[in-house]
Chains A and B, each alone.
Chain A
Amino acid sequence: MATAINSIPMDVHKIRAQFPVLDQQVNGKPLAYFDNAATTQKPIAVIDALNTYYKEYNANIHRGIHTLAEKATKAFEETRKTMATFVNAGEAEEIVFTRGTTESINLVAATYGRRMVHQGDEIIISTLEHHSNIVPWQMLCEEKQATLKIIPVSEEGVLDIYQYKALLSEKTRIVAVNHASNSLGTINPVKEIIKLAHDAGAVVLIDGAQAGPHLEIDVQSLDCDFYAMSAHKMYGPTGVGLLYGKRKHLEKMPPYQGGGEMIKEVTFKGTTYNDIPYKFEAGTPNIADVVAWHYATEFITQLGKETIEAHERMLLKHAHEVLSEIPGLQFIGVAPEKVSVVSFLVDGIHPFDLGMMLDAVGIAVRTGHHCTQPLMDFLGIEGTVRASFAVYNTKEEIDRLGASLTRVIKYMK
Chain B
Amino acid sequence: MSQINEIQDSIIEDFAVLDGDREMTNFYVMELGQKLPELPEQYKTDDFIVKGCQSKVWLKSELEDGRVRFAADSNTAITKGLVSLLVRIFDKQAPDDILNADLYFMERIGMDRFIGTQRSNGFAAMIKQMKLYALALKTKIEA
- The answer to the question of A353 belonging to the interface, with a C-beta cut-off of 8 Å to chain B, is yes
Contact of A352 among B25, B27, B54 (CB under 8 A): B54
Interchain CB contact under 8 A, A352 and B55: yes
User: Which residues of the partner chain A approach B54 to less than 8 Å between Cβ atoms?
Assistant: 352, 368
Cβ B78 vs Cβ A411 within 8 A = no
Contact, CB under 8 Å: A356 / B27? no
A359 CB–B CB distance under 8 Å: yes
Q: A329: CB under 8 A from chain B?
A: no
How many angstroms between the C-alpha atoms of A86 and B48 in the bound complex? 52
Residues of A within 8 A of B21 (CB): 28
Residue of B nearest to A368 (CB): B54
Would you give the shortest CB distance from A350 to chain B, in whole angstroms?
4
Cα–Cα, bound, A361→B78 (Å): 16
Q: Does B77 contact A350, Cβ atoms closer than 8 Å?
A: yes
The proximity string for A residues 387-411 relative to B, scoring 1 for CB distances below 8 Å and 0 otherwise, is 0000000000000000000000001
Q: How far is the CB of B117 from chain A (nearest CB, A)?
A: 14
Contact with B along A341-371 (1 / 0, CB 8 A): 0000000011011001101110000001000
B84 CB within 8 Å of chain A: no
User: A27 contacts which chain B residues (CB < 8 A)?
Assistant: 22-23
Q: Does A8 contact B (CB under 8 A)?
A: no
Q: Is B8 close to A, CB under 8 A?
A: no
Q: Which of B55, B75, B77 contacts A412 (CB 8 A)?
A: B77
Interface size for A (C-beta < 8 A) is 14
Chain A 197-231 against B: per-residue CB contact (8 Å), 1 yes, 0 no?
00000000000000000000000000000000000
Given the known interface contacts A27-B22, A359-B22, A360-B22, the answer about A353 and B27 at a Cβ–Cβ threshold of 8 Å is: no
Considering the chains assembled together, what is the distance between the CA atoms of A411 and B77 in angstroms? Answer: 12
Please measure, in the bound complex, the distance between the C-alpha atom of A360 and the C-alpha atom of B116, giving whole angstroms.
12
Contact call B30/A353, Cβ cutoff below 8 A: yes
Closest chain A CB from B84 CB (angstroms): 14
For the complex formed, measure the closest distance between the CB of A362 and the CB atoms of chain B, giving whole angstroms: 9
Q: How far is the CA of A353 from the CA of B115 in the complex (A)?
A: 11
Inter-chain contacts of B75 with A (CB < 8 A): 350
- Report if B76 contacts A (CB, 8 A): yes
- As a 0/1 sequence over residues 10 to 52 of chain A, the CB contacts with chain B under 8 angstroms (1 = contact) are 0000000000000000011000000000000000000000000
A352 surroundings in chain B (CB, below 8 A) = 54-55, 76, 78-79
**B26 interface residue per 8 A CB criterion:** yes
B27 and A411: CB pair below 8 A? yes
Contact with A along B37-81 (1 / 0, CB 8 A): 000000000000000001100000000000000000001111100
Distance of A361 Cα from B115 Cα, bound (Å)? 14
Most buried by B among A27, A356, A412: A356
Query: How far does the alpha carbon of A411 sit from the alpha carbon of B76 in the complex, in Å?
Result: 15
Tell me the smallest distance from the CB of B62 to a CB of chain A, in Å: 28
Is there contact, CB below 8 Å, between B23 and A353?
no
Structural contact, A360 and B55, CB atoms closer than 8 A: no
Which residues of A sit under 8 angstroms from B30, Cβ to Cβ? 353, 412
**A357-B23 contact in complex given A350-B55, A352-B55, A412-B30, C-beta closer than 8 Å:** yes
A113 to B35, CA, bound (A): 56
Residues of chain A from 308 to 339 with CB closer than 8 A to chain B in the complex: none
- Is A353 in contact with B76, judged by CB distance below 8 angstroms? yes
Give the Cβ gap from B113 to chain A, nearest Cβ, in Å. Answer: 10
List B contacts of A368 (CB < 8 A).
54
On whether the beta carbons of A361 and B23 are closer than 8 Å, the reply is yes
List the A side residues contacting B77 at CB < 8 Å. 349-350, 353, 412
Distance (whole angstroms) from the CB of A32 to the closest CB of chain B: 14
A residues neighboring B (CB under 8 Å):
27-28, 349-350, 352-353, 356-357, 359-361, 368, 411-412
18 more contacts with CB within 8 A, not counting A350-B55, A352-B79, are A28-B21, A28-B22, A350-B75, A350-B76, A350-B77, A352-B54, A352-B55, A352-B76, A352-B78, A353-B76, A353-B77, A353-B78, A356-B26, A356-B115, A360-B26, A361-B22, A411-B27, A412-B77
Using CB atoms and an 8 Å cutoff, list the residues of chain B in contact with chain A. Answer: 21-23, 25-27, 30, 54-55, 75-79, 115
Q: Would you list 14 pairs from A and B whose C-beta atoms are within 8 A, ordered by A residue?
A: A28-B22, A349-B77, A350-B55, A350-B75, A350-B77, A352-B55, A353-B30, A353-B78, A356-B26, A359-B22, A361-B22, A411-B27, A412-B30, A412-B77
